[in-house]
A and B are shown apart, each in its own frame.
Chain A
Amino acid sequence: MTILIIAEHDNKSLKEITLNTMTAATQIGGDIDVLVAGENCGSAADAAAAITGVRRVLVADHACYNGQLAENMAALIETLASDYSHIMAPTTTSGKNILPRLAATLDTSYFSDIISVESADTFKRTIYAGNAIETVQTADSIKVMTVRGTAFDLSETNGSATIEALSTVTDLGLSSFVNEELAESERPELTSANIVISGGRGMQNGENFSILEKVADKLGAAVGASRAAVDAGFVPNDMQVGQTGKIVAPDLYIAVGISGAIQHLAGMKDSKVIVAINKDPDAPIFSVADYGLVADLFDAVPELEQAL
């Protein structure tokens, strides 16, 4: 088995979810290489070389990999693919963008968002918004997949892999990066936070999210949202937790003013402890909450902040 992991990074630093992906790769076993493709991505490559168990870090540093355009990235990975039995990336918008394209180029199947490695050719993943778990087996020679970060522990980072620069440039000129609007936040990243507090339609407007932020500050938590809150324009989409947003599994998830629709539960029901604060005692969220408080959130949340 020889495995290639596509690193998730922003050129300067390696995203933690790459370390969860490494753990999944380790469970398959064999030699593991990491590809870091970007522009001026030397420090991300250094961080990848420190992941325990990595054999080599391959670095493709060129302007055409800026923004990790799917066309150029898939073409680059295609040039390396014949050396590998498995090609994996974290389940992020970048991984989900690139790897299916790569799989079709290689005429092989792709497994999206795997939650467990059963063996080198058998994996588990969720379907129907997390309401069923499918075990799939493939006879394809190259296995392409993305890995759910919250389903695997972080690997350690005391290694010192060799770093090799790749000279391949695969600029297809089909697409170009125009610009990016990044959401600024001082808080921990939603997908890796130990505590998440989320608001739903019950928050009524965007300003009211400040009461959640005050609690988040006291707990060192990240702030999330349901689709209803995002669609109503209360908060930006990158805060959305659910089937079509981010999947989180923190130690503590506090759902405030969230009814608990199937699509939202898909994104958070693997949290260790779930707390629901809702004034509707019949809200479906109470059927998964370890601790439920039937109360008006505008009284309960400030009171919670005081109590912490």
Chain B
Amino acid sequence: MWQWGVARKCSDANKYDNVKGRQMLTHYRPKKHNYFTVASTIATQISHVVGATYSLKMDKKDACVVTYFGDGGSRTFPCCLKFSAVLEAPVIFICWNNGWAISTPISDQFPRKAYGVRSIRDGNDALDIYSAIQAAHQMAITEERPILIEALTYRVGHHTASDDSTKYHPVNEIKWWRLTRDPMARFRKWIEKNGWWNDMAES
């Protein structure tokens, strides 16, 4: 939601575009939000973040850097984990494991459990993710070490506008995740239960 809000201020490929119309759509990110410009190359940003975090550490800033990547992008992760651990860089790695890299399911990417990690969170639970990142932020800075969060979720939409995921993706599976695990629906239930939201505000 924040992403689309920002989009209204720096729309793609027009005169307001702060990357001057040079990249494909959705590759914008304004500098004032401390968000490095996105690139199509997969997982290259993970090692950038280790270097950026090392800089913050040397400047003695009370801050860390967060990097996001999908399960398919974790192929360069072992190298970057080594760098961040050896150099004691306070970086938070967030892997959105949505089960698919375009048409490649997770079972075709990793041996079962061999890459298992102990920091698995429910990616469709906003509160779980919030508390995990809050704790990770504190740990990373005070202990000067990398933290990994693997957020389990499911890609209900197509990979991109160029993809028809029903060709390799069970439709029933998509429906199930959409109906029973949707993060927006779950969060709405929680805020409604606290009396902070209602149907009238929703409309």
Q: Say whether A associates with B.
A: no
Which B residues form the contact surface with A (CB < 8 A)?
Answer: none
Which A residues form the contact surface with B (CB < 8 A)?
Answer: none
